[in-house]
Homo-oligomer: A and B are copies of this chain.
Amino acid sequence: MLHLSKKVEYGLIAIRHIASQPVSEVITAKELSDKYQIPFDMLAKILQKLSKKGLIVSYQGVRGGYVLGRRSDQIKLSDVIYAIEGKQNVSLINCEKENPDSCNIYQTCTIKNPLSKIQNIINGMFDEMTISEIV
- Report which A residues bind B (CB closer than 8 A): 1-6, 8-9, 12-13, 16-17, 35-38, 81, 85, 89-94, 97, 104-105, 108-111, 114-115, 118, 121-122, 125-126, 129, 133-134
CB contact under 8 A between A37 and B92, given known A4-B115, A85-B1, A114-B133: no
Determine which of B13, B90, B105 lies in contact with A110 in the assembled complex, contact meaning CB atoms within 8 Å. Answer: B13
**B126 x A4 contact (CB < 8 A):** no
Determine which of B89, B94, B111 lies in contact with A12 in the assembled complex, contact meaning CB atoms within 8 Å. Answer: B111
Determine which of B9, B85, B118, B126 lies in contact with A111 in the assembled complex, contact meaning CB atoms within 8 Å. Answer: B9
CB contact under 8 A between A125 and B121, given known A2-B2, A13-B110, A37-B105: yes
**B2 x A110 contact (CB < 8 A):** no
Q: Bound state CA distance, A35 and B35, in angstroms? A: 53
**B85 x A3 contact (CB < 8 A):** no
Determine which of B2, B81, B90, B125 lies in contact with A4 in the assembled complex, contact meaning CB atoms within 8 Å. Answer: B2
Q: Bound state CA distance, A93 and B13, in angstroms? A: 12
**A110 x B91 contact (CB < 8 A):** no
